[in-house]
Structure 1
């Protein structure tokens, strides 16, 4: 069984590009799942459909490829031998919780506040997870540039979504609801780290994605059944095929993220995906606008600032560079 190595050989520039591409997928997935939620009149049902179709697609791909079949066969031995903590198999539950937080709080907070809260949580936990060394790439120091890049990212996201903030927002009423997306975002970095570690032991992100979608689907099916018993079901499933693309797009995002955390670490992977989300959202709003779409100057400038924040966070800075420079001046 493969063992974790300190770092993979994926170049930083390539890894960052893939992280941004991974982030580009998420707004498209969100737009599809949001439209499905409206058609079904049930946000949890839309999430169930997304996770179930994603599970079906990734299971078929895994069983149809030799590497995928080997990965599936390695799941039970890896868990039985405690190659990693067993609760890592429930990493998909974090994705289900994120979807639940999204469906429950977006109506109360709005998309803008939800985005800022979740990005803030994810950025803070990215620093923590890298420092603890939970991801397969090992520990990564919390440098001044990484902290600066993280702070710039949160500020940039807030600036980019600021045109969506309502003028009549009651801040006091938002304090408790905003804790849910903050926690959901905070847990996302841990999910990425757990998936990265599991991928090393399974030998392929295909198996990791299967386990994620299985865990998430189970959690969401239970939640939907409880909701159906209490409040009834929503509308019937639509016939249009594109409503069912959210799950397959999620497969791409989870699989790529599981690969990238080994090379980039959790923080930089997360920042790259955040930049991709903003770019993807901006492109969707320009090309396929929806009712209430706002594309203002702060949206564009905030997106560009997010890209700058990633560059700051990934800049190599020699240890003791300032000390050497100061010492040379004193001679």
Structure 2
């Protein structure tokens, strides 16, 4: 394994820890503000401010010409993220963090299998194999075990 690969793996693992922590923190925020949609909006406002400062500080603000070439579907990431955050805020108190994360991961790997198989959004097509199906089944098993 290369240093670049290990760095990417470490970043994703830390990102995963952030996701689990974010669910709890945003769930608490929802309790305090009294509404999961409001908590989601606050979370995104804070993120937008932070990221805007970083983009400006780095000098990577895209031009209008560059933005005009973005395909329509590339603009829905924020809406997908908003639903993700809302779903965790609304569910963490009921499911607990472990089951919530297991359900998220199950949804992610099942969708990833399909997106890879069809080459969605310009991805390289990756065949569905028995090992990839087994990976999805094992995550489903983990989801079921998280409730035992």
Normalised to the residue count of structure 1, the TM-score between the two structures is 0.39
Give structure 2 stretches of 5+ with no counterpart: none
Q: In the alignment, what sits opposite 2:107?
A: 121
SS in 1 for 2:128: coil
CA distance in 1, matches of 2:131, 2:103: 22
Instruction: Indicate if the aligned counterparts of 1:37 and 1:46 stay in contact, CA closer than 8 A.
Output: yes
Instruction: Indicate if the aligned counterparts of 1:33 and 1:47 stay in contact, CA closer than 8 A.
Output: yes
Root-mean-square deviation (CA, aligned residues, Å) is 2.7
1:136-183 deviation digits (Å, cap 9, x = unpaired): 652222222222122212212331x224xxxxxxxxxxxxxxxxxxxx
Q: Report deviation, 1:94.
A: 0.7
- Alpha carbons of structure 1 residues 14 and 26: separation in structure 2 relative to 1, 3 Å: same
Q: Report deviation, 1:114.
A: 4.7
1:4-24 deviation digits (Å, cap 9, x = unpaired): xxxxx943x443333222111
CA distance in 2, matches of 1:135, 1:81: 15
- Alpha carbons of structure 1 residues 144 and 157: separation in structure 2 relative to 1, 3 Å: same
- Alpha carbons of structure 1 residues 17 and 137: separation in structure 2 relative to 1, 3 Å: farther
Q: In the alignment, what sits opposite 2:85?
A: 99
Q: In the alignment, what sits opposite 1:149?
A: 135
1:10-42 deviation digits (Å, cap 9, x = unpaired): 43x443333222111111112211221222222
Q: Report deviation, 1:59.
A: 0.1
CA distance in 2, matches of 1:60, 1:48: 18
CA distance in 1, matches of 2:9, 2:143: 18
Instruction: Indicate if the aligned counterparts of 1:130 and 1:140 stay in contact, CA closer than 8 A.
Output: yes
CA distance in 2, matches of 1:143, 1:135: 21
Q: Aligned residue pairs: how many? A: 145
Instruction: Indicate if the aligned counterparts of 1:123 and 1:154 stay in contact, CA closer than 8 A.
Output: no
For the pair shown, which has the larger CA radius of gyration, 1 or 2? 1
Indicate whether 1:73 and 2:62 are aligned: yes
Q: In the alignment, what sits opposite 1:39?
A: 32
SS in 2 for 1:142: coil
Indicate whether 1:20 and 2:13 are aligned: yes
Indicate whether 1:134 and 2:127 are aligned: no
Indicate whether 1:88 and 2:77 are aligned: no
- Alpha carbons of structure 1 residues 102 and 26: separation in structure 2 relative to 1, 3 Å: closer
Q: In the alignment, what sits opposite 2:55?
A: 62
- Larger fraction in helix: 2
Correspondent of 1:110 among 95, 104, 111? 95
Higher relative contact order (CA 8 A, sep 6+): 1
CA distance in 2, matches of 1:156, 1:73: 42
